[in-house]
Amino acid sequence: GDSVTQMEGPVTLSEEAFLTINCTYTATGYPSLFWYVQYPGEGLQLLLKATKADDKGSNKGFEATYRKETTSFHLEKGSVQVSDSAVYFCALSEGKSSGDKLTFGTGTRLAVRP
Amino acid sequence: GAVVSQHPSRVICKSGTSVKIECRSLDFQATTMFWYRQFPKQSLMLMATSNEGSKATYEQGVEKDKFLINHASLTLSTLTVTSAHPEDSSFYICSAGSASTDTQYFGPGTRLTVL
């Protein structure tokens, strides 16, 4: 079945440091890939997505590129802020619509120090 | 953006009682809603997919008689944990799919503690 593997946290960085959170996946078809973020006390929010190979999703300074050859969707940000402290989830969906179920990774907690 | 609410945010109940959790899409209609369970430091585990006006589809290993799901309208789905036991204690999260944006929007979750 489908699965998502992401690096274990917590990840602790100083403000303005470069961020990478690794994510790899296993799927039978050509899934859509997502990064969700969960701020303390809030629900998961979609951060970015990519629906086909070589697509780059980007939002709020975060980027991730759909790499079919390495089955990866690593999250990057050039300069993190304290407000980026949250839990980040990588996910995939076999379908392209909002009615298709998501398979999540275990989440990576990011803590950014001032 | 689209907002999904859950009520209650926290509930503590005695073993053997039933608990109902509501999930509402506040500013959009959701044909499909999903219910997840999240254990500490673990991923979200999909429990069931709920379609408005029809029976929910449960994932393998999820007891449908224990976790009753009702999706009576395009803005409301409910999860009832029947005869709750301490092992049902968990964080329950719902999401609602928006056809107009092709995105799932998540509720803030409900922390259930069964004593």
The better pLDDT of the pair A20, B101 is held by A20
pLDDT digits (tens, 9 = 90+) for A25-63: 999 888 999 999 999 878 889 999 999 999 999 999 999
A103 interface with B at CB cutoff 8 Å = yes
B3 interface with A at CB cutoff 8 Å = no
How confident is the model at residue B46, as a pLDDT?
93
Indicate the pLDDT class of residue B1, thresholds 50, 70 and 90: low
A104 interface with B at CB cutoff 8 Å = yes
What are A8-11's contacts with CB under 8 Å, separation 24+?
A8/A106, A8/A108, A9/A87, A9/A107, A9/A108, A9/A109, A9/A110, A10/A108, A10/A109, A10/A110, A10/A111, A11/A108, A11/A109, A11/A110, A11/A111
In chain B, residues 48-67 whose CB comes closer than 8 Å to chain A: 49
Interface test with A, best of B45, B91, B104 (most A CBs within 10 A): B104
Distance CA A110, CA A62 (A): 13
A-chain CB neighbours of B103 within 8 Å are 46, 49, 98
How confident is the model at residue A4, as a pLDDT?
95
CA nearest neighbour of B4 among A21, A17, A98, A25: A98
B31 interface with A at CB cutoff 8 Å = yes
